[in-house]
Amino acid sequence: MSSRIDVSIEHRNVPEPPGKKHPNTCPACDSHYRDDELEAALWVCPHCGHHFTMRARTRIASLADEGSFSEEAADLRSEDPLDFFDLRPYTERLAEAEMKTGLGEAMVIGQAAIDGNGCELAVMDFSFMGGSMGSVVGEKFSRACDSAAQRGVPLVSITASGGARMQEGILSLMQLPKTVCAVEDLHDAGQPMISVMTHPTTAGVLASFASLGDVIVAEPGALLAFTGPRVVQQTTREKLPEDFGLAEQNLRFGHIDAIVPRPELRAYVTRLLRLFGPNGD
């Protein structure tokens, strides 16, 4: 008879085993959150201010004036020049990323207005293969620079990336000089670039266009490092400072201009766009 006793209620109320956390737990302060609550707070923890990763479309909606965003180069897709196969084929990883994110690639670009100031946006999405930069990200960024130059507006770049996309081999490394040249052409056309680095902006993206902003700002707690803490620790066995590679350390060492919390970003960027914009408006 005992086997027929319904124990599901007890199971439901069993305390969670240590180490296994509730899915909606803030990684910084362990408080629980509701999705709608967090979304209303721009994905910033209401308790401790931890900045969660923000998806590209959500980011654009949070910055651009309603209805002002017009996407460009949305149909660009990666190819597989090396027939790359690690544990799974690259093409399969790409298809999966597109299904998962609803995006064609790890960057979305387009024309927008922020508080009435025309600009070009280039926004990365970490959910698409870790925001890695392959040929398409490079090409989209390059076109964003051209679009900004042609229309005579500033470029606002928002990065979140683990670096170059290994699956495209040497061509992914070539996206570094490619995007660098695009920024230089934008600068020659007299337009500024505002670089907003969000968590994480590392390796190939940090070592190329993201570091070339006329103004560079970061979100609090963002990891901005050429080499991440795990690899540095493994290769050098050095003792890492507590804030190694974080935005706060980068500010202290003079690599960025400011740390701007997400709720203040729109106003901050607006001010910059006004200052760089035409006089007497």
| DSSP string covering 97-120 | HHHHHS-SSSEEEEEEEETTEEEE
Q: Which of 118, 244, 248, 270 binds other proteins (CB under 8 A)?
A: 244
Rounded distance between C-alpha atoms, residue 137 and residue 215, angstroms:
21
For residue 12, give the amino acid letter.
Answer: R
Unique residue bearing structure tokens 């350390």? 249
CB 97 within 8 A of CB 129: yes
In the bound state with other proteins, the residue whose beta carbon lies nearer, of 32 and 77, is: 77
Cβ neighbours of 148 (radius 10 Å): 27
Please identify, using beta-carbon distances, which residue of 92 and 184 lies nearer to other proteins: 184
142 binds other proteins (CB under 8 A): yes
Is there binding between residue 172 and other proteins (CB under 8 A)?
yes
In the bound state with other proteins, the residue whose beta carbon lies nearer, of 47 and 77, is 77
84-89-90-91 Cα dihedral, nearest 10 degrees: 120
Minimum CB–partner distance for residue 254 and other proteins (Å): 8
Residue 259 found at the interface with other proteins (CB under 8 A): no
Cβ count within 10 A of residue 252? 11
- Relative orientation angle of helices 56-63 and 262-276, to the nearest 10 degrees: 60
Q: Does 103 interact with other proteins (rule: CB under 8 A)?
A: no
Judged by CB under 8 A, which of 99, 170, 280, 281 binds other proteins? 170
> Minimum distance between the CB of residue 153 and other proteins, rounded to whole angstroms?
20
3-state secondary structure of 247: helix
Token pair 């040249």 is at which residue?
Answer: 181
Rule CB under 8 A: is residue 277 a binding residue for other proteins? Answer: no
- Burial (CB < 10 A; 0-12, 13-18, 19+), residue 117, is buried
The reply on whether position 159 binds other proteins by CB under 8 A is no
Instruction: Confirm or reject binding of residue 91 to other proteins (CB under 8 A).
Output: no
Residue 186 near other proteins by CB under 8 A: no
Q: Going residue by residue from 60 to 79, which x/- string records binding to other proteins, judged by CB under 8 A?
A: ----------------xxxx
Two tokens, residue 233: 């620790």
Closest approach of other proteins to the CB of residue 27, in Å: 22
Nearer to other proteins, 42 or 226 (CB): 226
Query: Interface with other proteins includes 236 (CB under 8 A)?
Result: yes
Residues within the interface to other proteins (CB under 8 A): 76-79, 81-82, 84-87, 134-136, 138-139, 142, 164, 166-178, 180-185, 202-204, 206-212, 224-227, 231-232, 235-236, 238, 240-241, 244-245, 249, 253-255
